[in-house]
Amino acid sequence: MKLTPLDVKKQEFKKVLRGYDPVEVDSFLDMMSNEFAELLKQCKDMREQLVEYEAQLRDYRQMEKTLQQTLMQAQEASGRSIENSKKEAQLIVQEAELKANQILDRARLDLSRTKDEIGNLRSKKESIVSRLKVLLNSEIELIKALEIDDDELTRDLSRGTGKETIEIDEIIKKL
């Protein structure tokens, strides 16, 4: 049986001879009833507060769970981001290496072409030089032949007036 403050207040005892002082008992019961009422009120308040705290605790646990999930998602996203960044960096490096190799290949090809061109130009130069030598040698031979002819002509003409020699000398100078 549950006692209420009203039960304590209304409690009546049998009156017996040489018993307790009724005023003192009533005063004690009033005081106890008030104290009991106060304790019940505190208990009720504490239960309400407990319900409120339990609700807050549920909310906090839910927030904690949400924060943990968010943290896990952030860690996963961060991990994916780092991995994606590494892959992207590898792709950039591979592209740079590929471009560098292409540039080197083009440079080697250009170098090879330039060497071939230099070789062709050297061949042409040698051909021109040898043709010039042949041409110059033939011109020298022609000049020598003309000098021989001039000497004979001069001897033949020196028997004459001498005017012919001047003209031949002038002709030779013009040549």
Residue 151 class from Cβ within 10 Å (0-12 exposed, 13-18 middle, 19+ buried)? Answer: exposed
Whose CA is closest to 3, among 25, 28, 32, 46?
A: 32
What pLDDT does residue 20 have?
77
In angstroms, the CA 33 to CA 95 distance is 90
In this structure, the dihedral spanned by the alpha carbons of residues 86, 87, 91 and 93, taken in order and rounded to 10 degrees, is: 20
In this prediction, residue 156 carries a pLDDT of: 57
What backbone torsions phi and psi does residue 158 show, to the nearest 5 degrees? -65, -15
Structure tokens at 49: 């507060």
Q: Does 78 have pLDDT greater than 90?
A: yes
* pTM metric for this prediction: 0.42
Across 7-34, b (16+ Cβ under 10 Å) vs e yields ebeeeeeeeeeeeeeeeeeeeebeeebe
Q: Determine the pLDDT at residue 144.
A: 83
* pLDDT score, position 23: 81
- The answer to whether residue 117 scores a pLDDT higher than 70 is yes
- Distance, in Å, from the CA atom of 48 to the CA atom of 45, rounded to the nearest integer, reads 5
Domain boundaries, the chain: 5-174
Residue ranges of alpha helices (H) inside the chain are 5-10, 22-157, 163-174
For the cut 60, the answer to whether the pLDDT of residue 1 exceeds it is: no
Q: What is the mean pLDDT of residues 132-143?
A: 88
